[in-house]
Amino acid sequence: AGIVERNGFDHPEFGWEMSGFGPVATLRAYKMVLHRGEQISVTYQVRQYYGRSSVFAVTVAAPSTDYPPPAGVQFFKSVKKRSK
């Protein structure tokens, strides 16, 4: 875990998209974090999936040099609406 100097994100980008799940709100932003004595840029992606009566939010964060992490991409692609 790293240390941050202030709350909030830098350069946030907001969006909406449709998926097999339904509407999805997206946020991608950056933050400088002190990690092992070195300032590094970290990229965050937040996705909020909206169902008929629920909201499911997922956040993935990784050093910007390693972004996007393969496991995060795979997980986002796996989110589906369950059939009744």
Q: Where are the beta strands (DSSP E) in 22-54?
A: 23-35, 38-50
pLDDT at 30: 94
pLDDT at 2: 64
Residue 67 in this model has a pLDDT that exceeds 70: yes
Q: Work out the average pLDDT over 61-65.
A: 93
pTM over 0.75: yes
pLDDT at 36: 87
- Tens-place pLDDT, residues 2-55: 667 678 889 999 999 998 778 999 999 999 988 888 899 999 999 999 988 889
- Per-residue buried b or exposed e for 43-76, using 16+ beta carbons within 10 Å of the residue's own CB: bbbbbebbeeeeeeeeebbbeeeebeeeebeeeb
